[in-house]
Structure 1
Amino acid sequence: MQGNASGEITFSGAGGTVTVTAAVEWTDITDVPPMTFIETHHTVSIEAEHAISRVSRAGVEWKTIENYGRTLSSVKMFPAGVSFGQPEKAPYLEYRVLVRQEGEYSLTAYLAPTNHLSPASGLKYAAGFDGQAPVTADALPPGYEGGNHDNEPWCRAVMDNIHTQVTSHVLAKGQHTLRFYGLDAGLLLQKLVLSAGPLPYSYLGPVESYYTDK
């Protein structure tokens, strides 16, 4: 169950009174499992280390790097240097989300501004929901040349201290499980943001959403 409510807050002082009208979205979380991130204002923001599970493949596992990144931390595949050609063979992270509406959502991955480890590779990953076929993406845009001061994509990544990439997913209203697969070595995930519309510009991205902890 979910809905909206509104109310007024009145502040008095310094010879005047100001009334602010506030609107609140609410969701009944009585039967929602732990570590479920709740959509608020059309957005679900998740710090990378807050996965409900981390699945290893071929001896490669996800580990947290504390205090690395723009906000909380990063997660990276270890041992370093191992890549995967297919998502079904790759290690993955799982996250649980609850969305308030049916429709198309954008998933923005915030990744450390790492260069690819070889000319033949990129910084590819895949993302999918509820066991459906995942969508593969590359954090490095076409024409990316790491270390080339005349290369606009590389300069932008250095100035912003981040790579971002977006995939699209159609979701039904309710709970979903997101899987994030690491494909190319060198990938460091910092944050995931699921949004039902365009994200307002901000340097760090939305703060982490509320999640159930019962």
Structure 2
Amino acid sequence: MWAEIDWTRAPEGTHRPALAFTGGGRSIQVPLLVVNDGERARRRARGFVEAHGYVSVDAAHFDREVPRGGARWRIVRGLGRRTAAVEAVPTTAQPVTEDLTAGSPELRYRVRFTTAGTFPVTVFRLPSLDERGERRLAVGLDDQPPAVLSGQAIATGNRGDAWVRNVEEGVEKLTARVTVSAPGEHVLRVFMVDPGMAVDQIVIDTGGAAGGYLAPPESYRRT
């Protein structure tokens, strides 16, 4: 069943109504969270919108790509679980391990949060390793220091069960935490650390994302 809101009649503000389903001698209440910032605010809003307790992003749908140091992110059609993924190229570029915000190629995603707090952000990356047995990237929100995430390394020549599972599933999930200081529009930033890193999806869990094999459906995005 699909429920929609008549925004012309919904009062402004944050509301928590419920849908009641009755039948077979039972009644089930399904809670909803309705946030109406008003028509003017909706016209100004840009980016991915938090809803259902998460923000889900297809990595190829960035707002801006910033090349730096002779490296960049490129969209690779047909790669990943939906329509495309993004890859840090060229593979011969030098890793960037210091001063990422000034020297690393970057992806920026505008996100509109309805809640504040510190939340896990999970990057779904395509499993691949370089000659050192790892690949890294970094994520951050706004001007916060980015956190470096490392793909599964090969230890003593044995890839282990975790790496085998990642290859079988075609994805490795790397998680950091970001702090949303206040509801409203923010910028999620993804930085290359090692070239060849390929990113498929990104999920920020604000309290409602269900665990599972796949990322949730992509969040509503206003461009």
The two structures share one fold, judged by TM-score above 0.5: yes
Tell which deviates more after alignment, 134-143 or 68-77: 134-143
Find the partner of 1:2 among 14, 18, 26. Answer: 14
**Residues 64/144 of structure 1: CA separation in 2 closer, same or farther (3 Å cut):** farther
SS at match of 2:16: strand
Counterpart check, 1:27 vs 2:27: no
Find the partner of 1:112 among 113, 126, 139. Answer: 126
**Residues 142/118 of structure 1: CA separation in 2 closer, same or farther (3 Å cut):** closer
- Identify the residue that residue 182 of structure 2 maps to in structure 1: 173
C-alpha contact (below 8 Å) 1:141/1:153 kept by paired residues: no
Counterpart check, 1:155 vs 2:167: no
Q: CA deviation at 1:43?
A: 0.6
- Identify the residue that residue 74 of structure 1 maps to in structure 2: 85
Q: What is the distance in 2 between the residues matched to 1:193 and 1:144?
A: 32
- Identify the residue that residue 4 of structure 2 maps to in structure 1: none
Aligned-residue CA RMSD (Å) = 2.6
- Identify the residue that residue 109 of structure 2 maps to in structure 1: 95
CA distances 1:134-170 after superposition (whole Å, capped 9, x unpaired) = 111112257485xx5x622221111221111100122
Please give the TM-score of this superposition, normalised by the length of structure 2. 0.80
SS at match of 1:167: strand
Q: What is the distance in 2 between the residues matched to 1:197 and 1:180?
A: 22
> Amino acid of the residue matched to residue 167 of structure 1?
A
Q: What is the distance in 2 between the residues matched to 1:202 and 1:97?
A: 23
Unaligned residue ranges in structure 2 (runs of 5+): 1-12
Q: What is the distance in 2 between the residues matched to 1:3 and 1:143?
A: 51
C-alpha contact (below 8 Å) 2:47/2:110 kept by paired residues: yes
Q: CA deviation at 1:176?
A: 1.0
Q: CA deviation at 1:55?
A: 0.2
Q: What is the distance in 1 between the residues matched to 2:72 and 2:55?
A: 25
Find the partner of 1:201 among 184, 189, 211. Answer: 211
SS at match of 2:167: helix
Give the fraction of aligned pairs with identical amino acids, expressed as a percent.
23
C-alpha contact (below 8 Å) 1:144/1:151 kept by paired residues: no
Displaced runs of 4+ in structure 1, greater than 6 A?
Answer: 16-20
Please give the TM-score of this superposition, normalised by the length of structure 1. 0.83
Unaligned residue ranges in structure 1 (runs of 5+): none
Q: What is the distance in 2 between the residues matched to 1:159 and 1:22?
A: 36
